[in-house]
Amino acid sequence: MKILVVGGAGYIGSHMVKQLAKAGNDVITLDNLSYGYRDAVKYGEFVEGDLGDDAVLDSIFRSGDIDAVMHFAGFIQVGESVIKPAMYYHNNVVNTFTLLDAMLRHDIKNFIFSSTAAIFGEPDYTPIDEKHNKHPINPYGHSKLMIEQVLDDYDTAYGLRSTCLRYFNAAGADPDGELGERHVPETHLIPLILQAASGRREDIKVFGDDYATDDGTCVRDYIHINDLCDAHSLALQKMMKEDKIARYNLGNGKGFSVKQVIDVAKEVSGNDFKVSIEPRRAGDPAVLVADATLAKKELNWQPQFDDLKDIVKTAWNISLTSRLDRKSALKKFLKKQKKF
């Protein structure tokens, strides 16, 4: 198949590009490099351009028979979305409309959408299945749910088939050591902890140790990046074969507390580091765990990295061997902040 991966220079997208290419697919990556990195795209063709640029999209779609589009180019920082909602609605909603309408102009009707557990908001129960009420509590979650609703309507009206995959906590890195997580600023727990373990961060802050959990800290469901990509590949195959829409929650179905992640990071790295207990953050649920039963049943998907130690180990290994240019990443981040 020939697949366009939008946002393929980012964390999840770059791992997806590698997996698709290794499976024999013809892959084109579109990324404006506002968050992604050119050196992360190691396979297929690369086009630098914006998701919201009709001319760029038309040029790509005219260049060959593209079978499907995978969309990873959403902005993802919850806190930032509260401060800068216009930025999130413009990129995550308006620009996605531009992409979908370009697909329709060129009769491309297979779409994989990178969604999020944030569409559920504060959980009514856990583990969270696909039937759980959807009441997002921040612009990021709202923007993703809006597109899911749009995709329902585009299916009915235009026959555009889509699969939405709701991630819980993507984690880990390419076991081959080629790719890893590179966010600036970093907001994900495991890389933050590993920065403390490697001495690049003074301490790791734990926000609240008085939750109604076994050790008092928040519990989250971590899914390895390769398992996440496997689910995307399986979802695409199923959608192309059955020609219908689908929605899946993706996680290991296991919860690990912040303290458990810290303990595992200390074991994997062999290093001790300072842990600071801070007050709770507003809007942090005590437990967020996925019920991925539907994905396992319908996609025949089974996570291979279901042990937290194995997930952390892949992230630690890439942090030791990577030559990522962090000064360049910081410069890019500061430039983006001025833009908005």
The residue to which tokens 């559920």 are assigned = 120
Task: State the Cα–Cα distance between residues 250 and 52, nearest whole angstrom.
Answer: 28
Angle at 262 between CA 261 and CA 266, to 5 degrees: 115
* Active site amino acids: 140
Q: Contact 196/312 with Cβ under 8 angstroms?
A: no
Q: Which helix (H) or strand (E) holds 28?
A: strand 26-31
Alpha carbon dihedral 113, 57, 75, 325, in 10-degree steps, equals 120
Rg (alpha carbons) of the chain, rounded to whole number:
19
Q: From the CB of residue 278, how many other CB atoms can be counted at a distance below 10 Å? A: 10
Task: State the Cα–Cα distance between residues 232 and 230, nearest whole angstrom.
Answer: 5
Question: Quick one: tokens of 84?
Answer: 């800068």
Alpha helices by DSSP H, the chain: 11-22, 54-62, 78-83, 85-89, 95-105, 139-158, 189-197, 225-242, 258-269, 293-299, 308-321, 326-339
Taking each helix axis as running N to C, give the angle between helix 54-62 and helix 95-105, from 0 to 180 degrees, rounded to the nearest 10.
30
SS3 of 128, please?
A: strand
Q: Contact 3/69 with Cβ under 8 angstroms?
A: yes
